[in-house]
Structure 1
C-alpha cells in the first residue's frame, strides 16, 4: 500500500492512460449515454425524477446554446442555485464545450457573492429566482455585463427553459476532447489563508483518481465478499446529496453518479427526522454528512421503524467530530461503515479508510480519532514549519503533499506561497501519523474557521470590526465547539477613550452587519496587546492558544 523512506510516505502511483479518457466532459457524455434510462437524480422535495438520458439531452442542448452565444474553451460559467433537477445542467454543458464552471450558493452573503463574481468575471450566470436581486446588484457592483439566466419565470431576463429547447445538430453532438489531463475542469471557491475566498482551479486528474474507471491497486487486502455485497445493493439505490454544487463534494457527487450509474437524491436542508425516512424510501446506500449534521442526527435518535438496511456507508469530514458522537453514531448504525475523511479542496482526498478491508474497519471502531491511511497517488511528509525538518511518526507538524491532483492554482491569484522550496504543496494543517501509517489531524495553521461546515473568513469579520470607532486592533479566532466546529471570537484592543464599550455592544454591532452564521458566538475578549512577530505579523496560533488556555 505504501512505504516510508527517510520519513517520506510514498504510495503506489495510479498508472493509466488518462489521455484515452478524453477529459471529464467525455467521461460524463459516454457514461450518461451508457446509463440511459436509469434514474440519474430525484428531488426529495417534489419526488420528481430524471433519467440519465434526459439529463444528457438537456445538457447537450444547453451546450449548443452556450456555443451559439460565443462561449467556449476557458470561458467562465457561474451558477447560483440550490439543489433541483436543472441545477447541474449548465455545469455539465459547460464542461462539454471546454468552458469552466464555478458555482455560488444562494445562502452566501451579498458581500461574498460580489467578491466571487468580481474574481472570475463570468460570461453568463444561471441563478434561482430567490438570488436574482443580489446577483443583479453584485454584477453591477463588479461592473460586469454578464448575461443572467433564471431557473424559473422572469419578464426581464432569459429563462432557462430557452436553453433546453430542441437544438439543430444535437443528435451528432460530441464534447470537446481534452488532451492534457492537467487542464482546469472546474473552479471551486474556498477560503485561503488570508481569509478571503479564492477560486481553486481543479484538473482532470482530481476527478479520475477517485473514479472506478482507473485500475484498482495491487496487493491490497480487500474483502471480496463485502465488495460483492455492495455491488448487489447498487441497482435502484441512491446516495444522498445535501451540499449544493458550490461545494467540491457536490461536484464530485455529480461526476461519480454518472460514472457509477447511482441516483443522486437531492436535498437542500438537512433535517435529522426526515433523514431516517429518506434513506429507507429511496434505498440510500451512501451519504456524506458534516460533523454538525452528525451531531443533530445523534441528538434526534433513530426511530424504531427506520429502515437502515440499505445504508452501507456514512462519510463525514470537513471538521473534527468528537469521540462521543462517533461512538453514538456507531450504536445507531451498527451495520453501516462510518467513514471519517480528510480532504482538502486544493488537493482532493488525502486520507481514507480502506472500506473493503475488515481489519481497517475494526481498527477505526476502536480508534475513532484517526482519519485513516494514505491514499494512492499521493506522497506525504510532515514538516516542522519553523525549522523545515522532516518529522517521523507521532511528531506533529505541517502536512505537505505531492500529487497530480494538486490544484492548478488560484484563479488570477498568486499561489507560489502554497509550495515549499522542493515543490511540495503546503496543506496548512498540523497532523501526525503513527507507526502503522494512520493519520491524525492535530490543528490548523490556516486562519479559516468553519461553523457548521461553512467557511468563516476571519478577515471579513475583522474588516467589519475595524470600522467600529472603539476598536483599535482586532483579531478573530475560532473557539472550538463540540457540535458546531468553530465559534468566532473577537480579541480586541480598544482605543484609549473607549472604556465604556462592552462585549455585548461589540456583538450587537457585528450581528447588524454580517450573516447569521458569521456572528461572534465565541464572544469578545478585551486585551491590552496582541502578540506580534518581529516583522509585524499577528501570532494567531499563539493568541488562540493563550485564549484557550485561559491566559487571556
Structure 2
C-alpha cells in the first residue's frame, strides 16, 4: 500500500482511454488540427494536411475491410519514408489489424526472418523496395497481397491511391464521413497494434508486441511535445524512434519536415530553408555537425532532442557554439520495448538539462535500479540494472515467455546499467546486454559471430563494440584462424559486408588472436576482449 523507498515514480496525472482502437484515437486526434500541414517532404516539397491524412486513412480502412483484412491480421509496411506511410498506419490500425514496419535495409536472410516472425498477410511497399526484395516477398507463403504506393506496379497488383483516394476507377466511390466512421473494437490492453523488431544477444531480431494502449499512453503524455516547434526528422520509419515519435508529434499537432535519406549538407540547408525550430537526432549526426564548417543560417533552432546514446558535456558545448539560439540539448532514454521513452529531459518548459543525465522518469512510469546479483533495489548513486513498469511497456516478445523479461513484480528488465541521483535524475552507465549500439542501431555480436564461423578459415571468434566518437560503437572481431589458414582483415570484412546489413559491418576491424576467452560453460568473456582493446590502446599511446 506504500510506495517503495528505492523506486523512481513519474507523474501519474495523465489520462488515457483503455479500450479504444488506436486508429480511432489517432483519427479523432489528428482531425482536431484541421487543414494544418502535418508533413512535408524536404526534397520534393510534397505535403499532406491533417484533414487529408484522416480522410485517406478512413477511406483506406474501409477498403481494407472490403478486401478481407480483419482484426488480428498482420499488415506489413516496407518502404522508404514517404507521405503515404501515415494514412496507411492509421488505416491499418482502424481495421483492428496489426501493423509491422519492416526495414528496407534488411539483407535476404534478415528479411525472411522477420517476415516469418510476424507473418504479414498483406504488405504495403514502394516500387523501390519491391525491386530490392521481390525474390524474398515471393518466397514467403504468408503474404497474400502486396499493395503498392507507386502507380507503376506489377500487373494485377493493388494501388494505394485506388484504396485511399476517391477517383475514377478507385475502389472507394465516395469519401467516408468521420461522423459515420467507427474503427473495429479492440481490447486496448490485450490486443496488439504494432509488431516492431529489436535485436537480442542471441542474434536475429525479436518481434516486440506493442498494444493499442502502449501507443496511446505514449501519445497522451503531457509536456512531451510543443506543437509550436516544427521538426526536421531523419529517423527511418521502421525504427521506434521514427514511428512512435512521429505519432506523438502529429497527435499534438506539430508540423514535421522529413528527409527520405540523410545527407549532411542538404540537412543543414533544410534547417535554413524551413526555419526549423526542433531537431530530433542521434549522436552521430550531432558529432558530424560539430566537426563540419558551414555558413547556413541555423539560428531558428531552439531545441535538439537526442536519443540512442548519451552525449558528453564537451559535445553539448560544441553544439551550442554552432546553434547560437539553442536553449539546450535534451536527452532521453528509451527502447523499442518501452514503446519509445522511459525518461526525458522536458523541453516544453525550456528547463536546462542536468549534464550527463537522461532526465526524469516519464508519466505513469516506475523505475527501480536493482543489484545485478541479488536483485535488491538500490538507492541514489548506486549502479545496477534499470527495470521499469509502465503502460508503455511492451506486451512481450513473440514466441517467448514473459517471465524471461519481466520480474516477479512486473518490471521489465532493460539490461542497461544506471543510477539516479538525489534529485531523481537518471544516468546511464553501461550496458549489461551485449548489444553493440552503432548510430542508434542495436547490433547483436552473436549474429556476426555465427556468420564468421561459417568461413572455412575461422576457428573461433568473439565480437565486441569498439568505441568511436562518430558512431558510438563499431563492431570489431577477434578471430582465431584455422591452423594453416591465411586470412586477412579485408577478406573477413568483405565476407561480413556481403552477407549482413550495413550497421553490422566490421568497421572496427579484425584482430587475430590465439584464443577467445570463455567461461567454464563456453560463454565468451567479452569483458576480457574489451580489456584487450584497452591494453592495445595504452600500448599505442
Q: Structure 2 length as normaliser, TM-score?
A: 0.90
Of 290-299 and 458-467, more deviation after overlay is shown by 458-467
1:445 aligns with 432
Whether 1:287 aligns to 2:279 is yes
Question: d(CA) in 2 for partners of 1:371 and 1:545?
Answer: 27
Report the counterpart of residue 325 of structure 1 in structure 2.
Answer: 315
Deviation at 1:57, TM superposition (A): 1.5
Partner SS state of residue 277, structure 2: strand
> Which residues of 2 match residues 158-197 of structure 1 at below 5 A?
158-166=158-166, 167=172, 170-171=176-177, 172-197=180-205
Correspondent of 2:121 among 120, 123, 141: 123
**Corresponding residue SS for 1:132:** helix
Q: Distance between the aligned counterparts of 2:527 and 2:64, measured in 1?
A: 47
1:104 offset after TM fit, Å?
Answer: 1.4
Distance 1:536 1:102 in 2: 36
Native 8 Å contact 2:38 2:47 kept in 1: yes
1:365-403 C-alpha deviation (Å, 9 max, x unpaired): xx2x22222222221221221232332222221111112
CA shift for structure 1 position 151: 1.7
C-alpha deviations, 1:157-204, integer Å up to 9, x for none? Answer: 322232224325722322234443453221221212323111211123
The residue that corresponds to 2:154 in the other structure is: 155
CA contact 2:223–2:346 (8 Å) conserved in 1: no
Q: Counterpart in 1 of 2:483?
A: 496
Note the 1:25-174 alignment, pairs <5 A: 25-152=23-150, 153-156=152-155, 157-166=157-166, 167=172, 170-171=176-177, 172-174=180-182
RMSD: 2.6
Cα displacement (A) at 1:69 = 1.6
Tell me how far apart the structure 1 counterparts of residues 58 and 520 of structure 2 sit (CA, whole Å): 58
Q: 1:11 to 1:523 in 2, by over 3 A?
A: same
Q: Distance in 2 between matches of 1:515 and 1:406?
A: 28
Structure 1, residues 512-534: CA drift from partner, whole Å, max 9, x if none? 43334422111112233333333
Structure 1 position 216, deviation (Å): 7.2
Deviations 1:309-333 (A, max 9, x none): 3x33211111243433221002222
In 2 relative to 1, CA 494–389 (structure 1 residues): closer, same or farther, beyond 3 Å? farther
Say if 1:244 and 1:250, in contact at 8 Å, map to a contact too.
Answer: yes
How many residues in Structure 1 have an aligned counterpart in Structure 2? 525
Separation in 2 of the partners of 1:331 and 1:4?
Answer: 43
* Contact preservation (8 Å) 1:18, 1:181: no
Aligned-partner Cα distance in 2 for 1:455–1:87: 24
Q: What is the 5 A alignment of 1:167-246?
A: 167=172, 170-171=176-177, 172-211=180-219, 213=220, 234=228, 238-246=230-238
Does the C-alpha gap of structure 1 residues 447 and 438 become closer, same or farther in structure 2, counting only changes over 3 Å? same
Change (3 A) 1:282 1:89: same
Q: Contact conserved, 1:195 with 1:448, CA < 8 A, in 2?
A: no
Q: Which segments of 5 or more consecutive residues in structure 1 lack a partner in the other structure?
A: 218-226
Q: Which residue of 1 aligns with 2:452?
A: 465
Which of residues 343, 363, 375 in structure 2 aligns to 1:376? 363
8 Å CA contact 2:201, 2:446 repeated in 1: no
**Structure 1 residues 17, 206: CA separation in 2 closer, same or farther (over 3 Å shift)?**
closer
Q: State the 1:344 CA deviation.
A: 1.1
Q: Does the 8 Å contact 1:188/1:200 carry over to 2? A: yes
2: distance between equivalents of 1:316 and 1:402? 23
The corresponding residue for 2:332 is 341
- CA-to-partner distance for each residue in 1:107-142, whole Å, 9 max, x for gaps? 222222221111111011111112213433223443
- CA shift at 1:75, angstroms? 0.9
SS at match of 1:480: strand
Shift of the 442–165 alpha-carbon distance from structure 1 to 2, 3 Å rule, reads same
Q: Is the 8 A contact 1:24 1:207 kept in 2?
A: yes
Give me the whole-angstrom Cα distance separating, in 2, the residues matched to 1:503 and 1:90.
45
Q: How far has the Cα of 1:49 moved from its partner?
A: 1.5
CA distance in 2, matches of 1:549, 1:373: 36
Query: Would the alpha carbon gap of residues 289 and 214 (structure 1) be closer, same or farther in structure 2, given more than 3 Å must change?
Result: closer
Shift of 1:549: 4.0
Equivalence map 1:499-510=2 (5 Å): 500-510=486-496
2:297 paired residue among 306, 317, 323: 306
Q: How far 1:341 sits from its partner (Å)?
A: 1.2
Query: For residues 384 and 493 of structure 1, do their structure 2 counterparts lie closer, same or farther at Cα, with a shift above 3 Å needed?
Result: farther
SS in 2 for 1:112: helix
Alpha-carbon deviations, 1:239-295, whole Å to 9, x = none?
122123201122223322432222221212223322333234324232211111111
Q: Distance in 2 between matches of 1:140 and 1:8?
A: 50
Say if 2:120 and 2:143, in contact at 8 Å, map to a contact too: no
Q: Is the 8 A contact 1:276 1:308 kept in 2?
A: no
Contact 2:21 2:93 in 1 (8 A): no
Asked whether the equivalents of residues 242 and 270 of structure 1 are also in contact (C-alpha less than 8 Å), the reply is: yes
| Conserved? CA contact 1:531–1:538, under 8 Å | yes
